[in-house]
Amino acid sequence: MESALRQAKAGGRPLTELTREDFPLPVLAPAIARWMDQLQNGRGFVNVKGIPVERHGDQDVALLHWGLGLHMGTAVSQNAAGDVLGHVRDTGADPDDTSVRLYKTRVDLGFHSDGSDLVALLCIRQGRSGGENRLVSTAALYNELLRRRPDLVPLLYQPFHWDRNDEQAEGQDPYFQLPICRYHDGRLTFFYIPWYIRKAQRHSEVPRFTREQAALLDLIDEIAAEPDMHVEMRLEPGEINYLKNSAVLHARTEYVDFAEPERKRHLVRLWLTAHGEWADGDAFVQQGIPRKQGVASDAENIAEAGAQGTG
Could you please report the per-residue DSSP string of 105-144? Answer: SSS-EEEE--SSSEEEEEEEE--SEE--EEEEEHHHHHHH
The phi-psi region of residue 153 (left if phi > 0; otherwise alpha if psi is between -120 and 50; otherwise beta) is: alpha
Mean pLDDT of 191-205: 95
In order, the DSSP letters of 272-289 are EEE-GGG----GGGGS-P
Contact criterion met (CB below 8 Å) for 2 and 68? no
Backbone angles phi, psi at 184, to 5 degrees: -135, 120
pLDDT at 172: 85
Give the span between the Cα atoms of 24 and 238, in whole angstroms. Answer: 20
CB-CB contact of 266 with 87 (8 Å)? yes
What integer is the mean pLDDT of 228-240?
97
Q: Which domains does the chain have, with CATH numbers?
A: 2-308 (3.60.130.10)
Whole-angstrom distance, CA of residue 264 vs CA of residue 126: 7
Residues 6+ apart with CB under 8 A from 142: 153, 156, 181, 188, 190
Tell me the per-residue pLDDT of 102-149, one tens digit each, with 9 for 90 and over.
Answer: 888 989 999 999 989 999 999 999 999 999 999 999 999 999 999 999
- Rounded distance between C-alpha atoms, residue 20 and residue 75, angstroms: 12
Average pLDDT score over residue span 209-233: 98
Q: What is the pLDDT of residue 308?
A: 41
Per-residue pLDDT of 270-284, as tens digits, reads 999 988 776 666 655
In percent, how much of the chain has pLDDT > 70? 90
More reliable by pLDDT, 129 or 183: 129
Q: Is the pLDDT of residue 285 over 70?
A: no
Long-range contacts of 96-103 (CB under 8 A, 24+ apart): 98/163, 98/165, 98/166, 98/199, 98/202, 99/165, 99/166, 101/165, 102/195, 103/269
The span from the CA of 23 to the CA of 3, in Å, is 9
> What average pLDDT does range 11-38 have in this prediction?
95
* pLDDT the model gives residue 305: 43
Torsional class of 186: left (φ above 0), alpha (ψ -120 to 50), beta (otherwise)? left
What is the distance of C-alpha 6 from the center of its chain? Answer: 28
Considering the entire predicted model, what is its pTM? Answer: 0.90
Q: Mean of the pLDDT values across residues 25-42?
A: 96
